[in-house]
Structure 1
Amino acid sequence: MIIVFTAFTLPKPITREEARSIFLSTAPTYRGVQGLYRKHYVLSQDGLTAGGVYLWNSRAEAEAMYTESWRSFVREKYGTDPTVSYFESPVVVDNLAQQVLADPAE
């Protein structure tokens, strides 16, 4: 599995309520995306950085999301360029589902 962190420094701070409204407006975009297990929207405490933490099935499926079109969408919505960082996530503990998920052994 792959974890992706996206972040963008906002031109001016936003409140939690503003962020919630913006995030809810874009959330449907991510429903049903191939290989995306979960997305967490994030906002820094000072309201100057927003982004997401994504859990993907594979890097290829994640890379299919972060295209120039996606980057343009972020620029238009937030007025800034995003950063995208990839991390391996071989094990996930999900206490809500009471599961431990692991990539297949290689």
Structure 2
Amino acid sequence: MIGVLVTFTQAEKFDRATLTKIADELRGPFEGMPGLRFKSFMLDEDSGQARNFYVWDDEEKGRSFFTEEIVDMVTGIYGAPPEVEFFEIVGHVDNSGA
């Protein structure tokens, strides 16, 4: 599995209402997306950054999603270019079924 952390930083801090609206509007295409296990839309209230976290089945699927076209699209949506970081997931705890 691979984790991807995408961070958006703009001059003015992101607020909860703006990011909730973005998450609601963008949720649909990710539901049932092959290879994507999880996607979280997040707000770092201290820094005012928008962050998205993805968990992909494998590295190839995770890296291939972030095309130039996707980066351009999300830059327009968030008003700032993303910083994309990839991480190998070496362990995972899932309590959602408990």
Question: How high is the TM-score relative to the length of structure 2?
Answer: 0.90
What is residue 90 of structure 1 aligned with on the other side? Answer: 90
Q: Secondary structure at the match of 1:91?
A: coil
More helix by share: 2
| AA aligned opposite 1:85 | E
Q: Secondary structure at the match of 2:65?
A: coil
Which residue number in structure 2 is paired with residue 27 of structure 1? 27
1:52 aligns with 2:60: no
Counterpart AA for 2:76: E
Q: Which string of whole-angstrom CA distances, capped at 9 and with x for unpartnered residues, describes residues 2-25 of structure 1?
A: 111000102422321221111111
Distance in 1 between residues matched to 2:67 and 2:85, nearest whole Å: 14
- Structure 1: segments with no counterpart, 5+ residues: 99-106
**Runs of 4+ residues deviating >6 angstroms:** none
How far did residue 28 of structure 1 move?
1.0
For the residue of structure 1 that corresponds to 2:38, the secondary structure is: strand
Conserved in 2, the CA contact under 8 Å of 1:9 and 1:48? yes
Q: Counterpart of 1:33 in 2: which secondary structure?
A: coil
CA contact (8 A) 1:8 1:51 kept: yes
Residue 41 of structure 1: aligned partner: 41
Aligned residues with identical type, % of pairs? 29
> What is the aligned residue count?
98
Residues 61, 28 of structure 1: alpha-carbon distance in 2 compared, 3 angstrom cutoff = same
> Rg larger in 1 or in 2?
1
Tell me if structure 2 keeps the 8 A contact 1:9–1:80. yes
Gaps of 5+ in 2: none
Once the 2 structures are TM-superposed, how far is the Cα of residue 63 of structure 1 from its aligned partner?
A: 1.1
Given the two structures, how large is their TM-score scaled by the length of structure 1? 0.84
Residue type of the partner of 2:35? G
Residue type of the alignment partner of 1:31: E
